[in-house]
Chains A and B, each alone.
Chain A
Amino acid sequence: MNKILVSGKVEGIVLKSNDPINFLGTVDKKTGIISDKEHSLFEKSIKNSILVFPSGIGSSVGAYTIYSIKSNNTAPIAMICKKADLTVATGCALANIPLITITDEEFESIKTGMKLSLNTDSTTLIHYQ
């Protein structure tokens, strides 16, 4: 379902994961690199990406990790999820990182490397370039 959790306007390149992300313990706060060997984004950096993933999982403290990567300039510029969870929603709210949810169909159609613009004031939230 389409929802605007945190509003904003950005343009960037998609990094997509079909695995959910546990921000506490999976993301290196200094580099923004995924450090969990089991994760499909292992060794990839989420810095400055439009991060597309199903949802967050795990400890609520993960919200601080999102704030932390923003403070360290290693955060994504926006996040797009299928399902909004409280950890990601509040982490993005505090760090002021735009966050929306989209339908399963639209989620399927987005691929790593695509260039998008996201504008929560526009009726079409996502424009593909």
Chain B
Amino acid sequence: MELTREEESALKGEQGEIMQMAYRILVATGEATDAEKLIPIEWAHLSGVNYNTIGDAGEEFLSTLSKDARVTVKTTLNPMGFDIDNVSNYKLDENFISKQLSIRNSYETMGVIPSFSCIPYEIFDIPKNGTQVAFAESNAAIHANSYDDLKTNKESAFSALASAIVGKSPYSSLRKEDTPNITIEMKVKNPNELSYGMLGFFAGKVGDTSVNISGLGEMDQRQCKAMCGGMGTSGTCAKFNFSKGDSNTEKIEFDEKEMKNVFDELNTSEKGDLITLGSPQLGLDEISDLTAKLKGRSFEKRCMVFLPRTVKEQAQKIGYISELERAGCEILSDCCTCLTPLICKDDVDAVTTNSIKGAFYLKNSNGVGINLKSLQQIVEDETR
């Protein structure tokens, strides 16, 4: 990778240890992705926020870093482990809460906007077409590349942080013209968000850096998010190209049989003890739709609803939150199903969810059983 004289000097440590570390990360990222240079970015979105995932090493690292490091571009960040407004309702120990708050303070000290959301594309204005950004959250990177006309690598927690500090990112294939290695034809009839989540999960397994996808009908935001979340979970692929591809591209069908394979891999239980909605977090449209679906109905078991704080505030004003709470929902902002410390296998055998991304992490990280159902099915089966 070619560096300018100034970039070389930063890598040698002539602009301080923080810039040296940040450039070491950007150079390693650039070499990994065959980038020939670094380019400016306008927005970074960080992962590595939840104490449940980054642990003491992450907390200590961020605490040290925040003494001197400051972000130089607009920087937003992923969910943390809990919602401070209702954390006392859950069995989290003092150590977890204080370490999580330390992480929050470190990011705020560095100048990061405390968005605690995995759907930055839904709660912030999207910059003009073709804008270079650096998103670490996988569903957000895929959404940005596929639906928002933005350009990003599927960043790691560190490359996004280094990009936030330096204001640059490697000019890798996804930022230029990327050639998808495969074309997937969607053959499943009458798909719901669960089907799209499984399609995404399948695509992430067969895709390299991007995939062509064809045969998709009109999709709503919930379905688009499910597809991006599914793909981000199963591989390194970071873009859907909505195209049939040319005759040289390998073709593969996603039919009922392939869908059943994914379903069988993730669905391990016939019923759940509690329900989670969100991973990715729900946006205002989904909250509005959920409120309408629950009109006059109530959940017969616990249902955790995850959403960004800004969406919660808007939904409160409109009256959705009181309606959802009446129906028995637990409303949680600033956090998400994915890698949540709020669901523990000592208390819960299995979770019902419509999220493939949520299912994957609940199964592998929380160690609970999974009962996959679409939202429509959840409302029909679990409320009255």
Contacts and interface: CB of A to CB of B under 8 A. Distances in A.
A and B associate: yes
B57 A86 contact: no
Contacts of B29: 86, 89-90, 93
Nearest to B46: A60
Contacts of A63: 48, 156-158
Interface string B9-24: 0000000000001001
B70 to A, nearest CB: 18
Contacts of A24: 53
A63 B55 CA distance: 12
Interface string A60-103: 11111001100110000000000011110111111010010000
Contacts of B57: 29, 64, 67-68, 71-72
B29 to A, nearest CB: 6
A107 to B, nearest CB: 16
A62 B58 CA distance: 11
A94 B47 CA distance: 15
A62 B365 CA distance: 13
Interface string A21-56: 000110001000000000000000000000000000
Interface residues of B, number: 36
B364 interface: yes
Contacts of A6: 24, 28
A117 interface: no
Contacts of A126: none
A94 B55 contact: no
A9 interface: no
B193 interface: no
Interface in B183-241: 235-236
B55 A68 contact: yes
B378 interface: no
Given A71-B57, A93-B24, A86 B31 contact: no
B375 interface: no
Contacts of A62: 156
A86 B156 contact: yes
Contacts of B153: 86
Interface of A: 3-6, 24-25, 29, 57, 59-64, 67-68, 71-72, 84-87, 89-94, 96, 99
22 contacts: A3-B31, A5-B28, A29-B57, A60-B155, A64-B55, A64-B58, A64-B158, A68-B54, A71-B57, A71-B60, A84-B33, A85-B236, A86-B155, A86-B156, A89-B28, A89-B31, A91-B158, A93-B21, A93-B27, A94-B21, A94-B24, A94-B158
Interface of B: 21, 24-25, 27-29, 31-33, 47-48, 50, 53-58, 60-61, 136, 138, 153-160, 162, 235-236, 339, 364-365
